[in-house]
Structure 1
Amino acid sequence: MKTKLYTLMLLCMIALSSCNYLDKHPEDLKTIEMVFDDEQEVRKWLGNIYSDFPDPMNFFYGDIYLPWTQLSDEMDIPWTRYYNDINKGNWNPSSEYKADTWIRYYQNIRNGYVFLKHVHTNATMDAEEVKVMKGEVRFIIAYYHFLLFQQYGPCPIVRTIASPNSSNSELWLSRNSVDEVIDYLDKELLEVSQILPNNYTDSWMGRPTKGAALALRGRAMLYAASPLFNGNADLIKAVNPSDGKVLGSSFDKAKWQKAADASKMVIDLGLYELYRSEDNDAFLSYRDLFLKWNKEIIFGRSTSNYESFVRHASPRSQGGYNGFGITQQMVDAYGMANGKDISDPTSGYVEDGYSVVRYDFTTNDEEKSKFKSYVQKGTYNMYVGRDPRFYASVMYNGRFWPTDGEVMDFTTDGPNGNSGSHDYSPTGYTMMKFFNPDDELQGNYSVVYRPSVLFRLGEVYLNYIEALNESDPGNGDIQKYYKEIRDRVGIPAAASSLTGLSQDQVREKIRAERRVELAFEGLRYFDTRRWKIADKTTGTTIYGMNINGKTNAEFFKRSEVETRVFKNKFYLYPIPQTEIDKNPNLVQNPNW
């Protein structure tokens, strides 16, 4: 590492960018100076640093770099045996899972610093373009630090590339404290936001902007203010062996105000707005915001695994794998279209029996109607009259498939049941969120392009009002932005009133809203941990429908799917044991 650093990194990056390089003779390989003299090679290097960014559509068997949805109470995926081990509590710091991102993220951070060291103007890249590129890379480096922080807690901050002559003691970094990591992200992202542009042309969608830097800063501040990091006794007990530094911090209410202010900066840019369909339809306004670039998306991946996602998530009868079993807990989290929770006796929710009429929010447009007849006659009453986000997100037994009108049958002997194949949903539900109704897996295979959303205004609104409720309960902005989120999906204003509720009651309302608004976007796992409620939400029995039922009467019964185990140490992911073994200055997370 010390003597061959640049050569090794160059060879690795070249190998990643094009397998054709593997056929070249050593004398044909470019030096690092030659790479950064070539605009195309510079862009390849930059693209490779981006490559490990999270992809909310990348949590399926075979390449599980983002398992957070199945490790929360949102979903059960039967194929992923390694992560099922985690849900059962059978893992330790030596378990080799792809979600051990520690090494990969630090490699990308290092590659970013190589870029910053060597990128320069040339015949095709002027000073302004190089300046923006450097701003992008600084954002990327900060983002990888945040991703390490949210998964592992306080982590070593890397501020420069190591010299080839560095000693082991210089390479053996110790962990920075919570406050040090957040202070770094705070200052760095503010500076970067002054470099990055407000937006890009369509050909450069997916690159970070001013708003992306500020949105990342706001999310980092929110996490730092939350119970997992703000006054957590376990982290206060964690001390670096090399310098005696305490990794945690005492509780500081002011962190909530800083988090609120950080998210408000994004809102005040005036660059973003909640996506609404042309006819302001509640269902389409939520469904379609994930299907194309729009003014709600602050930052996202322009490339993603959306084609594989569609294949894995689709029902078997439609050419898919029935891969994502949404839990009954998640189904129950969606309220009614009237804005009331299903536990409210005045909500109109009925669990038994079947609808006797077609229930439709909607339109007389014939083309749209096949996608928007949420509930047809004979649908199990549990699914009648629910929040439009439920219909945009969940496929249930008895619902028709939008492409060809097939009625979904998840009973044991049905076309998508557990007796026909190993590809079946363990909960009796599959996923609709992120689907385009024009996706076609049969006949002329065609999956429509869509971005993969990482930051959007809806989350920023929820970040802001959560922090505001903790720092300034009763502030009028809490009501304002809570209503805006719900108004987009047609929830009546009267059902979104927070008047007369206590701070604790408003907190629960906001958390419930985050759960459905941000469902399956990779955030629930971290929300339940930063709130320190994962022992109740994750360490419990997961339920679904009775997939062994042969008839609908047998199927529509709440049934146990899996009993999960959650221990206090699971709030933070363990640092890989191999890293602990090689670095004597690195302390493991508490209780591991």
Structure 2
Amino acid sequence: MKKLKNYILLFLMMFAFGACDYLDIVPDNVATIDNAFTDKYNAEKYLFTCYSYLPKMGSTGNNPAILGSDELSLGKYHENTSGVQLSIGNQTIVAPYYDFWRGTSGGTALYTGVRDCNTFLERIGEVPDISDYERNIWIAEVKFIKAYLHFYLIRMYGPIHIIPENLPVNESIENLKLTREPLDDCFKYVIDLIDEAMVDLPEILQVEATDYGHITKPIAAAVKAKILVTAASPLFNGEAGFNIYNHDGTALFPTEDATAIQQKWADALTACEEAISLAENAGHRLMDLSDFKTAGAVVTDTTKLKVILNYRVTAQENQEVIWPHTNGAASVGGLQSIAMPAYFSTQDWYGDGSLGAPLKMSLLHYTNNGVPIEEDKDWQGLNLNKIMTVGADQANHMKLGHRTVQRNFNREVRYYADLSFDGALVYGHLRPDKTDNNAALDYINHKQGGWSSSGYAWKVCPYGYWPVKLVNMNTGQDNMGWRGRAYAFPALRLADLYLLYAETLIENNQLDEAKVWIDKIRTRAGLKGIDESWAVYSTNPSKPDTKDGLREIMKRERLIELAFEGSRFWDLRRWMDAEDYCNEPVTSWNPNESTVEGYYNVQVVYYPTFNIKHHFFPIAESEISKNPNLVQNYGW
């Protein structure tokens, strides 16, 4: 294969130096397309063009799931961005935010991508200097891309119109006006196409160094499992209580049918089992303490675990990541810069630090007892905003003697690996003293006048919590300035797949087996198993023994383990839980105060809005005017 990785590395470097556009490999004109299939070299460039349509998952401007939910925001500094406007309910049918149907306002033109994939599949047989083996792999890759683009549209819009092949250029206007297909038919088309692709996809890359980024059989199987779990979920099976109809009366959403829904969950379970088997056989595994290999580091096991929990997302060489999404990588100057607060007290800060997590996200992770704060017997009646002083027992996570609030004490390790806050220690990030000696480490100082505040840094998000989970431990600042390491954004990792499998097991009434797979994630995070944790520490010790209770535990585990990775946006929708979460006021600490007592006062930043129509994106009004066969989504 040609070196897709060379394009990937160039793409990462472009981001690092401020470029914003992916390579426009094949211009949109007939002559170039005709030339594209005259030889292998040009055909491969067209293959990379098909890859370029995959939505950029590591981009706040291109991925609605980063800023459009309730877990992250850029606040007032970027109040007119698509993500903030989406979260406060300002979506519109005139010029929709994140319009992936047309490719405007932060969206990628996915239907254009589908048409380019169709062109590739129609013309790749003309290329003379390519072996049948390699041709079949390329065809399989493009079939997967085509299927994924359709799935992305389904997840956003619900029923869509399918484009199995390009229509002739002389096709009548009437035949070009496509209608939306029933939702179950849309899902079936996507799954059938992935099944076709999997026949010829390799189980592992032939040469990792040169083929990095290409689609493999484990990637396709894992995405298939996620699609089938989505198809079985409440939003897509009539539980929303709404339907839309084509002009001929065809219902586009299925009605609630217990037998049909149960079959969907059974199909999803089978797909998860196949995906896990393929992934593990290909060498994918959860990262653990054995992966800590920082030369010369003198640190505790707690610090090692924090590093590994960071690497589960940001490490470039990462066996946990099944699909490293190279289109939309988390660049040094992009996502990582805005996700990290200023921490270096002796010189100017080169980062942004404007991406923050509202206060509600500081209550998401478990206590160190492995149960939610609101259920932990040891936390009942505690004032979460009580100001306390950091002692030696918390010296792995916070500055000794620092004063901060109760909620920051005695939490699970993922809390300190995923979030940074006033008083939190900074380990790694280009520091030469690889030690967790409390006195040797920098720490966050967010109160007014501190180096993490608006008085020092260029931009600071007001919330007081930053998603440092998204910042590679080797990205940061030293006396050479702001620099670091980009990574392929984890579109799908093994932990996600394990939790999808647990979800299907619960819905198929295999509760004990579901606990086994959830406990794999908990064990890696340094927690005891579900049964032990709830029996000893929870105010509701029997919760894991019921289907509803275990489903709630599974959901919480997904929200914690996959926080800030773009999963919450889609999960809350498909579970039909978004209205419960996304209408709460977005709150912060008060970064304009320099005293501890003044800083830890809750401020309302803005009020988000989410109602039933927001489960799906609207189709732009102009599209429906051009094609009267299209019907609008419910509520729009």
Alignment match, 1:273: 285
Deviations 1:397-421 (A, max 9, x none): 1113333533212223333324567
Instruction: Give 1:264 deviation, angstroms.
Output: 1.6
Alignment match, 2:561: 517
Alignment match, 2:372: 341
State the TM-score, normalizing by the size of structure 1.
0.88
Alignment match, 2:65: 68
Alignment match, 1:394: 419
Tell whether 2:321 aligns with 1:297. Answer: yes
Does the Cα contact within 8 Å between 1:232 and 1:249 map onto a contact in 2? Answer: no
Deviations 1:241-300 (A, max 9, x none): 1x3221100223322222222212111223332222316753233211221233222112
Q: Classify the secondary structure of the residue corresponding to 1:75.
A: coil
Instruction: Give 1:101 deviation, angstroms.
Output: 4.5
Alignment match, 2:168: 163
What letter matches 1:568 in structure 2?
I
Could you list the runs of 5+ residues in structure 2 that have no partner in the other structure? 1-20, 104-108, 293-303, 344-348, 432-440, 536-540
Tell whether 2:401 aligns with 1:378. Answer: yes
Alignment match, 1:240: 246
Show the 5 A alignment for 1:404-423: 404=431, 405-418=441-454, 423=459
What letter matches 1:53 in structure 2?
L
Instruction: Give 1:530 deviation, angstroms.
Output: 1.0
Deviates more, 1:143-152 or 1:67-76: 67-76
- Structure 1: how far apart are the matches of 2:74 and 2:68? 9
Alignment match, 1:435: 471
Show the 5 A alignment for 1:200-211: 200=205, 201-202=207-208, 203-211=210-218
Does the Cα contact within 8 Å between 1:546 and 1:554 map onto a contact in 2? Answer: yes
Q: Classify the secondary structure of the residue corresponding to 1:170.
A: helix
Q: Classify the secondary structure of the residue corresponding to 2:586.
A: strand
Question: Which residue, out of 613, 623, 636, partners 1:579?
Answer: 623
Does the Cα contact within 8 Å between 2:306 and 2:417 map onto a contact in 1? Answer: yes
Deviates more, 1:410-419 or 1:198-207: 410-419
Tell whether 2:92 aligns with 1:81. Answer: no
Deviates more, 1:331-340 or 1:97-106: 97-106
Instruction: Give 1:58 deviation, angstroms.
Output: 0.7
Alignment match, 2:351: 320
Deviates more, 1:426-435 or 1:173-182: 426-435
Tell whether 2:498 aligns with 1:461. Answer: yes
Deviations 1:101-156 (A, max 9, x none): 44400000000000011113756421100100000000000000010011111111
Alignment match, 1:97: 97
Q: Classify the secondary structure of the residue corresponding to 2:322.
A: strand
What letter matches 1:354 in structure 2?
M
Question: Which residue, out of 208, 214, 234, partners 1:227?
Answer: 234
Alignment match, 1:262: 271
Cα gap change, 1:92/1:18 in structure 2, threshold over 3 Å: closer, same or farther? closer
What letter matches 1:582 in structure 2?
K
- Structure 1: how far apart are the matches of 2:100 and 2:291? 45
Q: Classify the secondary structure of the residue corresponding to 1:302.
A: strand
- Structure 1: how far apart are the matches of 2:69 and 2:271? 27
- Structure 1: how far apart are the matches of 2:89 and 2:466? 25
Q: Classify the secondary structure of the residue corresponding to 1:113.
A: helix
Instruction: Give 1:534 deviation, angstroms.
Output: 1.1
- Structure 1: how far apart are the matches of 2:197 and 2:154? 19
Question: Which residue, out of 507, 519, 533, partners 1:495?
Answer: 533
Q: Classify the secondary structure of the residue corresponding to 2:289.
A: coil
Does the Cα contact within 8 Å between 1:324 and 1:431 map onto a contact in 2? Answer: yes
Show the 5 A alignment for 1:539-550: 539-550=583-594
Question: Which residue, out of 332, 335, 344, partners 1:309?
Answer: 335
- Structure 1: how far apart are the matches of 2:602 and 2:400? 22
Instruction: Give 1:579 deviation, angstroms.
Output: 1.2
Alignment match, 2:299: none
Could you list the runs of 5+ residues in structure 1 that have no partner in the other structure? 1-14, 362-372
Alignment match, 1:358: 392
What letter matches 2:180 in structure 1?
R
Deviations 1:503-544 (A, max 9, x none): 111111001000010111111111111111211211221122
What letter matches 2:392 in structure 1?
R
- Structure 1: how far apart are the matches of 2:578 and 2:306? 30
Deviations 1:293-334 (A, max 9, x none): 332221122352422112222224642112211111111001
Show the 5 A alignment for 1:555-566: 555-566=599-610
Alignment match, 1:482: 518
Does the Cα contact within 8 Å between 1:235 and 1:249 map onto a contact in 2? Answer: no
Alignment match, 1:10: none
- Structure 2: how far apart are the matches of 1:69 and 1:19? 27
Question: Which residue, out of 481, 484, 504, partners 1:447?
Answer: 484
Deviates more, 1:303-312 or 1:528-537: 303-312
- Structure 2: how far apart are the matches of 1:419 and 1:385? 31
Deviations 1:402-448 (A, max 9, x none): 33533212223333324567722121122201222221345244321
- Structure 2: how far apart are the matches of 1:158 and 1:246? 20
Deviates more, 1:163-172 or 1:397-406: 397-406
Deviations 1:80-119 (A, max 9, x none): 4143333332331112434444440000000000001111
Instruction: Give 1:454 deviation, angstroms.
Output: 0.6
Alignment match, 1:45: 46
- Structure 2: how far apart are the matches of 1:397 and 1:316? 11
Q: Classify the secondary structure of the residue corresponding to 1:354.
A: strand
What letter matches 2:55 in structure 1?
P
- Structure 1: how far apart are the matches of 2:23 and 2:341? 35
Cα gap change, 1:72/1:19 in structure 2, threshold over 3 Å: closer, same or farther? closer
Deviates more, 1:127-136 or 1:545-554: 545-554
* Number of aligned residue pairs: 555
Does the Cα contact within 8 Å between 1:336 and 1:347 map onto a contact in 2? Answer: no
Does the Cα contact within 8 Å between 2:25 and 2:45 map onto a contact in 1? Answer: no
Instruction: Give 1:580 deviation, angstroms.
Output: 1.1
- Structure 2: how far apart are the matches of 1:85 and 1:31? 39
